[in-house]
Amino acid sequence: MLFLFRLVALAALFGLLFGFDEGVIAGALPLITNAFSISVTGEGFMTASVPLGAVAGAILAATYADRLGRRKVLIMCSLLFIAGALASGLATGQTVLILARLTLGVAVGASALAAPMFLAELAPAKYRGAVVSSFQLMITVGILVSYLIDMVLEPLGAWRWMLALGALPALAALVGIVFAPESPRWLAANGARDKAISVIGMVQPDLSRAEAVHIVDEIERSSDPSRAAPAWGTFLSPSVRPVVFFTIAAFILQQVSGINAVIYYAPTIMSHAGFDGSATQLAATVGVGVVNVLMTVVAMLVVDSFGRRPLFILGFLGSAISLVVISYAMQADRPDLAPVGLIGLFAYIAFFAVSLGPLPWLYMSELFPLALRSRGMAMASVANWAFNFAVVFAFPVIVFEFGAPFIFAMFAGFCTIGAVYSWYFAPETKGVSLEEIEMRHSAVTA
């Protein structure tokens, strides 16, 4: 059991790094723009360079996780996290900072695929959900930690320290993954049968050697190299095409709801909502981070009882209403509406965290057949990061041209579309085993 706790801690570190490097720019951005005199377009590109790099990271992880193993990919991710954080803190200009954040983005995109895959294949079945879910939870914790660091260091103008401190958890992650074993599934699939049996024995010490051998036998049968992998054209087959379209659409709708505009530009949004002073704006931003963490915990508790489909529909509806409230509160010359805008923002974060945040990732892991899962997850992840980049890049430009109320009304419109789409197309997988879901795609796995 102690070994399993180490795995959960490892998941927490990679999730925390993900959230930290997304959220830390929120408090550092005003200081950076003053230091380097960055234009509105440059501000958008610099901020959005993390999700842009993550597009490449997701593709690289999907390509090399099977060739090199999950552990080696995560070691490289740790090194990139360290290099990117230090380079960000030492940046001498806008170009260097963009390159550093692109490096961090590659690490974020690759680890977001490789870490959950690594942990799911290591964890015993009865603990797998908790172990993998800890990664998602710690993304929100990482965002909150970055906001707290921003609040402490902002009065000192220490934006370099804000960015460079990400190297510390990255170093801890590097040490952890260096001493962690490889996934037994990857070991068994690559001829290291004895090592796979040994790893299963470490993770599940209550099993006998005969039981560990039986598990490895099952892994070897399921990954029989004599069975050719399904062709890419299989994704367009009648049974799989709806899964491809739904998972990609779920991620696109998640991003155009505006969540990462809020995460990356929270203090700026607070100023548009009528909160004066950087200290007040950062304090309200920390409140956003706290709500995000708490409601992610709630999501973990209710998703298996409430159901995926109704929760998805409710999340879009609640987010749409909350965004309308935010847009209304951002009217010019109405500082009295600032508390209304903050309530709307907290409500939006709550609806997102309990629904729109975790559900696309959960759907993605459940709906794709095993034979197509890694490539299907990669396609959905690339769509996620591409639209993340588009929203984060465009946000300051649209605010400059049309004003903050306009873009939040636009986000509300996208959420309304999401609610209608979910009503017609979102499946319910609550209480359905992965084997039963797999039967829906039996044509591609036979």
Report the alpha-carbon distance of residue 71 to residue 233 in Å, rounded. 30
Report the alpha-carbon distance of residue 372 to residue 361 in Å, rounded. 16
What's the pLDDT score for residue 444? Answer: 47
What's the pLDDT score for residue 323? Answer: 94
Q: Count other Cβ atoms within 10 Å, centred on residue 192.
A: 17
What's the pLDDT score for residue 324? Answer: 94
pLDDT tens digit sequence for 334-362? 667 778 888 999 999 999 988 888 888 77
What's the pLDDT score for residue 113? Answer: 84
Report the alpha-carbon distance of residue 195 to residue 187 in Å, rounded. 7
Given a contact cutoff of 8 angstroms between Cβ atoms, the answer to whether 101 and 53 are in contact is yes
Q: Count other Cβ atoms within 10 Å, centred on residue 60.
A: 19
- CA nearest neighbour of 88 among 25, 15, 16: 25
Amino acid identity, residue 369? P
Give 405 or 337, the one with higher predicted confidence: 405
Percent of the chain with pLDDT over 70: 85
Q: Give start and end residues of each alpha helix (H) in 69-124.
A: 70-89, 94-122
Residue 333 has pLDDT above 70, yes or no: no
- Residue 158 backbone phi and psi in degrees, to 5: -90, 60
- Listing DSSP states for 35-81 in one string gives HHT--HHHHHHHHHHHHHHHHHHHHHHHHHHHHH-HHHHHHHHHHHH
pLDDT tens digit sequence for 250-261? 999 999 999 888
Report the alpha-carbon distance of residue 253 to residue 255 in Å, rounded. 5
Report the alpha-carbon distance of residue 269 to residue 246 in Å, rounded. 31
Percent of the chain with pLDDT over 90: 30
Residue 223: Cβ-neighbour burial (10 angstroms; 0-12, 13-18, 19+): middle
Give 444 or 321, the one with higher predicted confidence: 321
pLDDT tens digit sequence for 30-41? 899 888 888 888
pLDDT tens digit sequence for 293-321? 998 888 877 777 777 889 999 999 999 99
- Listing DSSP states for 281-319 in one string gives HHHHHHHHHHHHHHHHHHHHHHHHHH-HHHHHHHHHHHH
pLDDT tens digit sequence for 215-229? 677 666 655 555 556
Angle between helices 373-402 and 241-256 (to 10 degrees): 30
What's the pLDDT score for residue 229? Answer: 63
- CA nearest neighbour of 271 among 403, 365, 113: 403
Q: Count other Cβ atoms within 10 Å, centred on residue 322.
A: 24
What mean pLDDT, rounded, does the chain reach? Answer: 83
What's the pLDDT score for residue 173? Answer: 92
Q: Count other Cβ atoms within 10 Å, centred on residue 332.
A: 9
Residue given tokens 């696109």 in the structure block: 252
Output the six-digit token pair for 238.
């009648």
Given a contact cutoff of 8 angstroms between Cβ atoms, the answer to whether 387 and 251 are in contact is yes
Report the alpha-carbon distance of residue 346 to residue 318 in Å, rounded. 11
What's the pLDDT score for residue 445? Answer: 47
Domains of the chain by start residue, with CATH: 1-180 (1.20.1250.20), 232-446 (1.20.1250.20)
State CA 252 to chain mean position distance: 13
What secondary structure letter does DSSP report for 277? S
pLDDT tens digit sequence for 163-209? 999 999 999 999 988 888 887 777 877 777 778 787 777 776 676 77
